[in-house]
Structure 1
Amino acid sequence: MNQSTPLPNASLLNQLLRFTPTARMFFSGNLCTLTQGSEADGLKQGTMHLLSRGELQLTRKGFAPLNVRAPSVLLLPRALEHWVQGSGPQGVDLMCATLSELAPPLDMILPDVTVIDLTATSSLQRPVELLFEEAEARAFGYRAAIDRLLQYTFVVLVRHLIDRQLLSGGVLEAMVDSRLGVVLSMLHESPEHDWTLDSMAELAHLSRSAFALRFVQVVGIPPLTYLTHWRMAVARNLLAQGQAVKAVASQVGYGNATAFARAFQRASGQSPSAWQMEHLSQP
């Protein structure tokens, strides 16, 4: 989006963060030496690095090193192999957290690496200060407090990127499109509906072919593919709450649990029951 592009309405923007990823701190302190990415910090999950003092160097295969000065937030929202180290004799004071899997439509617009200078945004300064205060005080319950503050910080960070129009992506353009915006809104609100290409086109007041073409040109994927991505995000959220697979299937537009299980397996690489068991067993 450029500076002249209007922002989507609040209802659609809320859908960006309907399934906000959870966050879990795995490091807090001073880092001087090179630390290779591990399962905890970015090979299998996204990561967020928060710098309070010093300078950090981020290294990724195939890319030039990136130097980041404090106070800053460094967001790598997807599983991405990387190495970090403090620059200079004093190293860097930072906090690192893992992020759970991104859900659509947010996963379609966040870049692989984002650096936010905290001196340029007052809205992020206080949450980050509170995080480091909690980490230093280590009062009882501090880890629970930090993980919730990290999730809040992520929300404020996305707000900042949207407000400054620093994110781009077809979904954002579709949200302000006079024809596509209403379709996205209805897909998000009613994933259980028996959607077809014809019913979506009717909402957009376009022919079937014109709607399909416009959706792909703006969003980047076919409308039924987008619908499936959204339904799977809703399904994962419901499964994580402990709902039965059969009940989840009906809430995301599948007539029976077998059809839902096949779609979920294709999207997630696991059956719904296996995914649910794995995630409910996590602390």
Structure 2
Amino acid sequence: MLSEHSDVLSQVLKLIRLRGDRVFHGELGSATEVNFPPGPATFLHLRSGELSVSLPHEAPVLLRPGDFVLLPHADGYTIRSESSSKPRQCFEAAIDVSPSRNAQTFRWAMDDGTAGSFLAGSFYFDGAPLRSLLTGLPRLIHLTCDKVSEPAWLAAIAHFLEVESRSAGPGSSLMISRLIDLLVIRTLRMWVSRQGNRIGWLSGLSDERVGRALNAMHREPYRAWTVAALAQTAMMSRSTFSNRFTAVVGLSPLRYLTRWRLTIAADLLRAGTLKVTEVARDVGYGSEAAFSRAFKEEFGYPPRDAHRIAQPSVFLVRSSELTDDPFGRSLK
């Protein structure tokens, strides 16, 4: 099952493209609270001390040196340091971390030394089709240093990111973007491998039989799949498989297959190297007209316009505002 799990995840992660070029350093004094407004996705790597990070209406998460936090949605967040002997000082962050001003260091309430320091960065998911793949992610992903099976990779990437952000040499912005891309993808891969309670297609990865069907669809999206054929792959009866797949993933098997085919198609069309007819064939449609109808229904524009329409860099809407996961069950 491990190889099947990896195959599905690799197919999804292959489509993820990030635009990340903003990095800054932060230091907090004791009994300090800094509120960051909603914005792009963010990561934090605690370098020293103890701090906590929290999202609106959720309990704070304590961070220790080496811990890493990924905030993939558009939530505002708060970073705090603790002290039992001082009144809390509160700040509203207004940080300009444009690419030309990487490696800025921001210090809050440092009169009595540093309670905690961190490296942080912002990034956007590049391209609207990724919303279908990533809206099922939690609002906060926390990797603790003691539970990361390969702590060296996290420390190494964070180190190179810090060095590159301070160098400001030729190609520095590109290097920072690539390092952020590596950091986020590696984090998502590790998080998915460790979770048992997931939403949508992520949940299907932990179900052995549903996972077989997912792997088959991801490996051969062009095949003329039927529910009966997928049930045979999962070694289940047709009705039992259909009910189980829908309960776990949140979509019927063929509806999921359609979403996956169209996600691949959007990526191919965006590259602009294939004709619409070729893309339709490659993702399993026998008719360009049928493909065009399905594509327009999914994305709001015809496939022939896909390579001309600028795909915006997006950050994901907050989980509390979602009414439906396009690749999974209701998030309410």
Distance 1:268 1:31 in 2: 43
Q: What's the CA shift for 1:222? A: 1.1
| Alpha carbons 1:31, 1:86 under 8 Å: kept | no
Q: 2:15 aligns with which of 16, 19, 39?
A: 19
Q: 1:266 aligns with which of 291, 297, 319?
A: 297
Q: 2:172 aligns with which of 138, 142, 156?
A: 142
Distance 1:127 1:276 in 2: 33
TM alignment of 1:158-177, pairs within 5 A = 158-163=188-193, 165-169=194-198, 171=201, 174-175=204-205, 177=207
TM alignment of 1:164-243, pairs within 5 A = 165-169=194-198, 171=201, 174-175=204-205, 177=207, 179-243=209-273
Which residue identity does 1:200 align to in structure 2? L
Q: 2:123 aligns with which of 98, 122, 125?
A: 98
The alpha-carbon distance between structure 1 residues 258 and 206, as it changes in their structure 2 partners (threshold 3 A), is same
Unaligned regions of 5+ residues in structure 2, if any?
29-33, 82-107, 111-115, 314-332
- The superposition leaves residues 51-82 of structure 1 with CA deviations (integer Å, 9 ceiling, x where unpaired) of 4456666554443555645543321223x231
| Alpha carbons 2:129, 2:266 under 8 Å: kept | no
Task: Identify the structure with bigger relative contact order (alpha carbons < 8 Å, sequence gap 6+).
Answer: 2
Q: What's the CA shift for 1:212? A: 0.8
The alpha-carbon distance between structure 1 residues 28 and 274, as it changes in their structure 2 partners (threshold 3 A), is farther
- Worse-matched range after superposition: 235-244 or 102-111: 102-111
TM-score, length-scaled by structure 2? 0.67
Q: What's the CA shift for 1:157? A: 1.4
Relative to its length, the structure with more helix (as a share) is 1
Unaligned regions of 5+ residues in structure 1, if any?
1-5
Equivalent residue, structure 2, for 1:245: 276
Which residue identity does 2:16 align to in structure 1? T
Q: 2:307 aligns with which of 265, 276, 281?
A: 276
Distance 2:307 2:50 in 1: 40
TM-score, length-scaled by structure 1? 0.76
Question: Over the residues paired in the alignment, what is the CA RMSD in angstroms?
Answer: 3.4
Which structure has the larger Rg?
Answer: 2
